[in-house]
C-alpha cells in the first residue's frame, strides 16, 4: 500500500526545524526530525537520529551537573550541523519519493544512465557516466568551433546538458564534483557561456540542498575572474547566503571567508550592486502592473478618493506640503508622474528596473523554454537560435547586426532576448523589416555610448550582467513550468539588509543610509523606517532624518509616533511643511484644538497658501465653529472661483448654521457638477429641515442608489447626523418612521 504524504507539510516542517535550530531550540527540532524519519524510506537514518539524541542528552546532563568540557562548544556546533544535514537528507528523500516533481524524474533518469556505466557510486571524476565524452572534448584544440549540426557539436551539446544536470542534481558534492569544477575552471576548453550555465547549476543545487562545499565552489568561480561568470557566481552565492541566513552563522568557515574577502573594496562594491539589484526586483510586479494598466493603453484612471462625506481632501490639487518634503532630495521631483512618460521609463531602465517582465511574460511558451537549463543560458551571437534566423528571407541578411545588437543591449535580459528572437520568425514581413531598422539604430547608439560609459563607471559591465542575470532568475521563479518545485526567492519582503551577508560585506552605516533612501523613494515605508531608526541614533541633529521617519510612521498610520518625530524635526528646523504635518497628525488623532493651532502657525508664515487655508477651515469645521470655517472657505472660493468642490463644505456650513436658503444656493451650484452620495444625503437633510419630507426621501434614495454606499452605511451616516438634525428643529420621533418608509421604498 502506497503511503500518502503531504509534501507541502514536509517542506514547512523542514523550514520550521531550521528556524528552531538557529534559535538553539534543539529538543523541538529533534521532535520534528523524528516525525520526518517516520515518513522517510531511509530507515537507516533512525540510527543516526538516535546517536544525535543520545549525544545531546549527554551534553545536557554534563552541563547540568557542572562538568566542565572544553570541547563542548565544538561538539554543540557539530551536533547542530548534523541535525541540519540529517533534516536536509530527509527532506530530499521524502520529496523524491512522493512529490512527482520534474527535478526528481530527471534525477531518476540520470541514475538509470549512470547504472549503465557499471559505476553506480560516483566517487571520483572517472566514475562519471560522461567521462569519456569529457575526455574527448578536452583533447580537442582550443580553436575548435564545430558546425552546430555536426555530430561533434551535438555530442558536445549533450555533454553540456549532462554536466549541468550532474551539478544541479547532486545533493552533496565530493571529490568527483570538485575535480569536475576544477576542470571547468582550468582546462580552458569550456566557453564562457557554458561556464555560466554550470554556475547556475551549482546555485540551484545549493538552494535545494545546503552544503558549504557548494558555496566555496561559487566563490571559486567568482575568483576565476572570468567575464560574465563572476557576476553569476557572486549573485548565486549572495542569494544562497540570504536564503540560508538563519543557519549561516553555524558554519564559521563561510563567514570567515566572506569577511576576509570583504576587506577588498571591489568585492564590497560587487556585493552592494547585487544586493541592491535583488532588492530592486521587488518593484517588478508593481511596475508590470503600471505598465499594463497605465502606459501601454495610455490610460490613467484617477479614482476620486472620498474622505468623509464632504470630500474635503479633493477640493484643491494635492498640496505640495502634504507630500514628501521637497527639501529632501531632487530624486523626488516629479515623482507623481514617474511612470507617465517614456523619458522617465527610460530612466527606470537605466537604473536597472525590470520594465519588460510583463511584455515578455507571454513569450515563454516556445519549446526552447521546455529545456530546463535554457532559462539560464546567457545570450551570445553564435547560439543556434540565431542560426535559425539566418535562414529567414527578410531577417537573414541582417542576422549578424541583429544578434550583435541584442548581445550588447543592456536593457533586455538574456531570457527575453531569446524570446524576442524566437518570436521574430512569426512576425509579418513589414514588422520584421521595421525590427531590423530598430536594431541597427540600437547597435549604432550602443557603440557610441559604450566607451564613454565604461570610462565613467568602472562597474558598468558588472552591473549590467548582474541585472540581466537576476532578471533571468526572476523569470525562472515566476514563469517557468518548473517554478512550483522551487521556493520563490523573490516573494516576501526580500529584506537582505537584515541578513548576515549584508552585515559582513557592507560599510554598514553608509549602506543602510543608501538603502533607506532607496526604499523611501520607492514608497517602501516599512523597510525605510526599519533602516532610518537604526541610523538616527548616530545623527541626533538631523532634522530631515526625523522628518523622513515621521513621514514613514504617518504612511504606516502610526500618527502618535509620526507626531513625536515631526515635533523633534520642528525643534531643530522650524518650517511650514513640518508645522502642517504636525497639524495633520493631531487632526488624525482627534486633537482638534491643537491641530488648529499648528495650521494657524503655518498660515501666519505663508498667508497666501490656499492649502493651509483649506486645512484651517477643516479644523474649524471639526470644532463646529461654522462661521469661522466659512471665512477660510470663502478665501479659497475667491482665489479659485471655478472650483466646484469648495462649494461642498460651504453649503454644509450654511446648513449647520440653519441658513437653509444660502445652503440651497450652494447645493444648486454644486449640482452643475457630479453629486456624490453624501451630497444627496445632505440635500435630503436640508429638505427635511425645511419640512419637505417626501423630497428628503427622494434625495436619500438617490444617495443610496448611487452605488457609492450601502444601506448599512447610509444608516450609520444618518445616525451620526441625527443630533445635528434635531438641533436644527427636526422632530426626533419622526426619524424612525421616515427611515422605515425609505427602506420600504427601496425594497
What pLDDT is recorded for position 333? 42
What is the Cα–Cα distance from 77 to 49, expressed in whole angstroms? 16
Q: Which residue has the cell 541583429?
A: 402
8-state DSSP, 101: -
Domain end, chosen from 220, 254, 282, is at: 282
Average model confidence (pLDDT) across the chain: 87
- Residue 273 has phi, psi (to 5 degrees) of -60, -45
- Is residue 494 scored above 90 in pLDDT? no
**DSSP string covering 126-154, please?**
GGSTTHHHHHHHHHS-TT----TTSHHHH
What is the Cα–Cα distance from 235 to 569, expressed in whole angstroms? 40
Residue 704 burial (CB count, 10 A): 20
463 and 367 housed in the same domain:
yes
What pLDDT is recorded for position 530? 93
165 and 83 housed in the same domain:
no
91 and 123 housed in the same domain:
no
190 and 264 housed in the same domain:
yes
Q: What band does 302 get if pLDDT is binned at 50, 70 and 90? A: very low
Query: Is 680 a domain residue?
Result: yes
Among 504, 22, 509, 555, which residue's Cα sits nearest to residue 260?
504
152 and 212 housed in the same domain:
yes
Q: Which residue has the higher pLDDT, 555 or 404?
A: 555
What is the Cα–Cα distance from 377 to 416, expressed in whole angstroms? 11
Q: What band does 335 get if pLDDT is binned at 50, 70 and 90? A: very low
Q: Which residue has the cell 537507516?
A: 44
Range of the domain at 701: 675-747
Q: Write out the three cell numbers for 26.
A: 534543539
What pLDDT is recorded for position 120? 80
Residue 389, CA distances (Å) to 394, 421, 433, 583 in order? 9, 8, 13, 65
What pLDDT is recorded for position 308? 42
What pLDDT is recorded for position 320? 54
What is the Cα–Cα distance from 307 to 680, expressed in whole angstroms? 16
pTM for the predicted model, two decimal places: 0.81
Q: Which residue has the higher pLDDT, 445 or 21?
A: 21
What pLDDT is recorded for position 139? 87
Query: Is 232 a domain residue?
Result: yes
Query: Is 536 a domain residue?
Result: no
Domain end, chosen from 232, 259, 282, is at: 282
Domain end, chosen from 282, 304, 334, is at: 282
54 and 109 housed in the same domain:
no
**pLDDT, tens digit (0-9, with 9 covering 90-100), for 541-562:** 999 999 999 999 999 999 999 9
- Is residue 481 scored above 80 in pLDDT? yes
- Is residue 319 scored above 70 in pLDDT? no
59 and 123 housed in the same domain:
no
What pLDDT is recorded for position 395? 78
113 and 201 housed in the same domain:
yes
Which residues, 6+ apart, have CB-to-CB distance to 520 below 8 Å?
528, 532, 548, 552
277 and 257 housed in the same domain:
yes
Across residues 475-491, what is the average pLDDT? 92
**DSSP string covering 164-227, please?**
HHHHHH-SS--HHHHHHHHHHHHSS-S-HHHHHHHHHHHHHHHHHS--HHHHHHHHHHHHT--T
- Is residue 291 scored above 80 in pLDDT? no
Q: Which residue has the higher pLDDT, 312 or 11?
A: 11
**pLDDT, tens digit (0-9, with 9 covering 90-100), for 71-94:** 889 999 999 999 999 999 999 999
76 and 112 housed in the same domain:
no
Query: Is 277 a domain residue?
Result: yes
- Is residue 181 scored above 50 in pLDDT? yes
- Is residue 703 scored above 70 in pLDDT? yes
**pLDDT, tens digit (0-9, with 9 covering 90-100), for 603-642:** 999 999 999 999 999 999 999 999 999 999 999 999 988 8
- Is residue 332 scored above 70 in pLDDT? no
Handedness of CA 693, 695, 701, 707 (dihedral sign): negative
Query: Is 669 a domain residue?
Result: no
What pLDDT is recorded for position 323? 65
Query: Is 33 a domain residue?
Result: yes
**pLDDT, tens digit (0-9, with 9 covering 90-100), for 499-523:** 999 989 988 788 888 899 989 998 8
Q: What band does 431 get if pLDDT is binned at 50, 70 and 90? A: confident
- Find the DSSP H helices in 306-459: 342-351, 357-360, 384-390, 399-408, 414-424, 429-456
Q: Which residue has the higher pLDDT, 573 or 331?
A: 573
Q: How many domains does the chain have?
A: 4
Across residues 184-198, what is the average pLDDT? 94
111 and 251 housed in the same domain:
yes
255 and 377 housed in the same domain:
no
Amino acid at each position: 500500500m502506497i503511503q500518502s504524504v503531504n509534501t507541502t507539510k514536509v517542506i514547512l516542517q523542514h523550514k520550521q526545524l531550521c528556524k528552531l535550530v538557529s534559535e538553539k531550540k534543539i529538543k523541538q527540532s529533534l521532535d520534528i526530525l523524528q516525525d520526518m524519519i517516520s515518513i522517510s524510506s531511509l530507515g537507516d537514518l533512525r540510527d543516526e537520529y538516535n546517536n544525535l539524541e543520545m549525544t545531546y542528552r549527554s551534553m545536557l546532563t554534563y552541563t547540568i551537573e557542572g562538568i566542565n568540557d572544553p570541547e563542548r562548544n565544538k561538539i554543540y556546533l557539530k551536533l547542530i550541523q548534523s541535525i541540519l544535514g540529517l533534516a536536509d537528507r530527509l527532506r530530499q528523500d521524502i520529496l523524491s519519493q512522493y512529490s512527482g516533481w520534474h527535478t526528481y524524474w530527471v534525477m531518476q533518469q540520470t541514475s538509470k544512465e549512470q547504472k549503465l556505466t557499471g559505476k553506480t557510486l560516483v566517487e571520483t571524476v572517472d566514475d562519471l557516466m560522461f567521462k569519456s565524452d569529457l575526455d574527448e572534448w578536452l583533447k580537442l584544440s582550443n580553436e575548435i568551433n564545430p558546425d552546430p549540426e555536426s555530430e561533434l557539436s551535438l555530442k558536445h551539446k549533450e555533454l553540456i546538458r549532462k554536466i549541468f544536470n550532474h551539478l544541479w542534481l547532486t545533493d552533496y558534492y565530493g571529490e568527483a564534483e570538485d575535480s569536475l569544477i576544477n576542470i571547468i575552471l582550468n582546462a580552458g576548453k569550456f566557453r564562457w557561456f557554458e561556464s555560466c550555465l554550470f554556475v547556475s547549476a551549482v546555485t540551484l543545487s545549493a538552494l535545494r540542498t545546503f552544503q558549504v562545499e557548494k558555496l566555496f565552489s561559487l566563490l571559486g568561480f567568482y575568483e576565476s575572474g572570468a567575464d560574465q561568470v563572476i557576476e553569476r557566481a557572486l549573485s548565486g552565492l549572495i542569494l544562497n547566503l540570504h536564503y540560508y541566513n538563519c543557519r549561516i552563522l553555524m558554519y564559521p568557515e563561510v563567514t570567515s571567508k566572506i569577511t576576509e574577502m570583504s576587506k577588498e573594496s571591489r568585492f564590497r562594491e560587487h556585493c552592494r550592486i547585487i544586493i541592491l539589484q535583488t532588492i530592486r526586483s521587488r518593484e517588478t510586479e508593481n511596475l508590470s502592473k503600471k505598465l499594463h494598466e497605465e502606459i501601454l493603453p495610455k490610460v490613467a484612471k484617477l479614482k476620486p478618493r472620498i474622505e468623509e462625506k464632504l470630500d474635503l481632501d479633493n477640493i484643491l490639487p494635492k498640496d505640495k506640503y502634504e507630500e514628501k518634503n521637497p527639501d529632501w532630495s531632487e530624486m523626488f521631483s516629479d515623482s507623481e508622474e514617474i511612470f507617465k512618460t517614456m523619458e522617465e521609463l527610460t530612466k527606470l531602465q537605466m537604473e536597472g528596473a525590470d520594465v519588460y517582465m510583463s511584455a515578455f511574460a507571454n513569450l515563454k511558451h516556445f519549446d526552447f523554454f521546455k529545456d530546463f537549463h535554457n532559462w539560464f543560458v546567457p545570450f551570445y551571437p553564435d547560439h543556434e537560435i540565431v542560426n535559425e534566423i539566418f535562414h529567414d528571407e527578410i531577417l537573414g541578411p541582417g542576422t549578424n547586426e541583429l544578434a550583435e545588437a541584442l548581445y550588447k543591449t543592456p536593457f533586455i535580459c538574456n531570457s527575453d532576448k531569446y524570446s524576442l528572437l524566437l518570436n521574430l520568425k512569426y512576425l509579418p514581413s513589414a514588422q520584421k523589416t521595421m525590427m531590423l531598422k530598430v536594431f541597427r539604430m540600437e547597435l549604432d547608439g550602443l557603440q557610441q555610448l559604450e566607451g564613454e560609459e565604461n570610462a565613467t563607471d568602472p562597474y558598468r559591465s558588472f552591473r549590467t550582467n548582474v541585472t540581466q542575470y537576476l532578471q533571468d532568475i526572476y523569470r525562472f521563479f515566476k514563469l517557468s513550468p518548473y517554478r512550483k518545485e522551487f521556493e520563490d526567492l523573490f516573494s516576501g519582503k526580500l529584506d537582505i539588509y537584515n541578513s548576515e551577508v549584508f552585515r559582513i560585506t557592507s560599510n554598514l552605516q553608509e549602506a543602510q543610509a543608501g538603502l533607506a533612501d532607496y526604499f523611501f523613494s520607492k514608497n517602501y515605508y516599512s523597510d525605510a523606517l526599519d533602516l532610518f531608526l537604526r541610523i538616527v541614533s548616530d545623527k541626533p541633529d538631523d532634522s530631515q532624518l526625523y522628518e523622513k521617519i515621521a513621514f514613514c510612521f504617518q504612511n504606516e498610520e502610526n500618527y502618535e509616533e509620526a507626531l513625536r518625530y515631526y515635533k523633534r524635526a520642528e525643534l531643530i528646523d522650524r518650517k511650514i511643511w513640518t508645522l502642517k504635518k504636525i497639524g495633520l497628525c493631531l487632526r488624525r488623532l482627534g486633537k482638534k484644538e491643537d491641530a488648529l493651532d499648528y495650521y494657524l502657525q503655518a498660515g501666519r508664515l505663508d498667508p497666501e497658501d490656499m492649502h493651509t487655508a483649506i486645512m484651517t477651515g477643516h479644523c474649524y469645521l471639526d470644532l463646529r465653529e461654522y462661521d469661522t470655517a466659512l471665512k477660510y472657505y470663502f478665501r479659497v472660493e475667491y482665489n479659485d472661483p471655478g472650483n466646484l468642490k469648495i462649494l461642498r463644505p460651504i453649503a454644509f456650513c450654511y446648513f449647520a448654521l440653519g441658513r437653509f436658503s444660502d445652503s440651497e444656493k450652494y447645493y444648486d451650484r454644486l449640482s452643475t457638477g457630479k453629486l456624490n452620495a453624501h451630497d444627496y444625503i445632505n440635500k435630503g437633510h436640508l429638505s427635511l429641515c425645511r419640512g419637505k419630507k417626501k423630497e428628503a426621501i427622494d434625495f436619500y434614495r438617490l444617495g443610496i442608489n448611487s452605488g457609492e454606499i450601502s444601506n448599512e452605511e447610509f444608516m450609520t451616516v444618518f445616525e451620526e447626523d441625527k443630533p445635528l438634525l434635531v438641533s436644527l428643529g427636526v422632530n426626533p420621533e419622526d426619524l424612525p418612521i421616515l427611515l422605515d418608509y425609505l427602506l420600504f421604498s427601496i425594497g
